[in-house]
Amino acid sequence: MISGSRMSSRAMRAVYVRKFGAVDQMKVEENVAVPKLEDKQVLVKLYASGVNPVDTYIRSGQYGKLPTIPYVPGKDGAGLVDAVGSGATRFKVGDRVFCSQTVRYGTLAEFTAMDEDHVFPLADSLDFAQGAAIGIPYFTAYKALLLKGRAKKGDRVLVHGASGSVGLAAVQLAKAYGMTVVGTAGTAEGLELVSSQGADAVYNHRDSSYMDKLKKNPETKFDVILEMLSNVNLGHDLELMKPKGRTIIIGCRGPVTINPRDMMGPETEVIGCALFSSTPEEWNLIGERVAEGISSGWVKPVINKIYDLHKAGEAHHDVIHSTGAKGKLVVRVQE
């Protein structure tokens, strides 16, 4: 039995990818069937969809698990619970929620069906655009910094690419947990934004001398480094870690050459981090902690730009090709 609106006679608007490739192969289609709800799922009426780089990797076929074409893109979203399956017990119709990690149905649509474990309460203090900006960025930041990086109060943390959505989430998280944070960004606006989120120091990673400045004082090395572009920075990171330090690889766009000797004496670690490889136990823990962060106030998503649904392809382009990240890109699904 399903509690809430009946889906059989309803239709929706959704963005469909008809085949992998260029932006013009992704378009809005009308009268799409509302997803069928299974027992332990929640049907969410979406108002906003978060845009993540992984959305573009899937579209281009450069991802481990690819959907069957055609499909609706999008992994993060926010809206209202519209119906619940008979086995779903955590939510009721009308609840404000954010969701992440869709299995079959993407969030660039007016409705999505989501496993209950991937739906979380959204406090009134955040709007739907901010809710759509929580999932992948904040869950990734938490997993990288605390589960993989084992960071603790008093640690020094370096966040490369701190003006992006994951980077800003990491800065907010690290400061909430009592760490000293250094962040990098590529524009004056980005540097100002990172500083406004609590970073203790900021560096422009487009300044050719910024690595030398970071390495200049050996007493200011880092316990944990969050690396968004390891193909560029990893070799330097090995020189920036304290003894027993950890560099967590969150992003990479190509191969890199390093000298492992830089890791031997100080016994440092380089650790890969992929949110989609999380165990159910990790996922539930991260969800609980991020939900607590919303209540306590440290989860404060920064929205860079909001696109209309028919400009979702433009948002996909911009998330990869922007000249300087300044927060999250979000698509408005409906008013």
Question: To the nearest whole number, what is the mean pLDDT of the chain?
Answer: 92
What are the tens digits of pLDDT across the range 91-145?
Answer: 999 999 999 987 678 999 999 999 999 999 999 999 999 999 999 999 999 999 9
Residue-level pLDDT at 103:
66
Q: Please indicate whether the domains covering 3-133+301-332 and 137-276 agree at the CATH topology level.
A: no
Residue-level pLDDT at 8:
46
Can you tell me the mean pLDDT for 236-265?
95
Residue 312, C-beta contacts closer than 8 angstroms, at least 6 positions apart: 15, 26, 28, 49, 51, 73, 108, 331
Residue-level pLDDT at 4:
63
Residue-level pLDDT at 65:
80
**pLDDT bucket at 63, cuts 50 / 70 / 90:** confident
Residue-level pLDDT at 22:
53
Which tokens belong to 88? 């779903």
Please, what is the Cα angle at 225 between 224 and 227, to 5 degrees?
Answer: 150
Residue 46, C-beta contacts closer than 8 angstroms, at least 6 positions apart: 77, 78, 79, 107, 109, 110, 111, 112, 333, 334
Residue 154, C-beta contacts closer than 8 angstroms, at least 6 positions apart: 178, 179, 180
Instruction: Check if the beta carbon of residue 83 is closer than 8 Å to that of residue 2.
Output: yes
CATH, range 3-133+301-332: 3.90.180.10
Residue-level pLDDT at 26:
87
Which tokens belong to 307? 């696109």
Q: What percent of the chain has pLDDT over 70?
A: 96
Looking up tokens 């929706």 gives 12
Residue-level pLDDT at 62:
77
Residue-level pLDDT at 2:
62
Domain boundaries, given as residue ranges, for the chain? 3-133+301-332, 137-276
Residue-level pLDDT at 23:
47
Residue-level pLDDT at 20:
58
pTM given for the model = 0.93
Residue-level pLDDT at 133:
98
**pLDDT bucket at 9, cuts 50 / 70 / 90:** low
Instruction: Check if the beta carbon of residue 289 is closer than 8 Å to that of residue 268.
Output: no
What are the tens digits of pLDDT across the range 168-224?
Answer: 999 999 999 999 999 999 999 999 999 999 999 999 999 989 999 898 877 889 999
Task: Name which CATH class applies to 137-276.
Answer: alpha beta
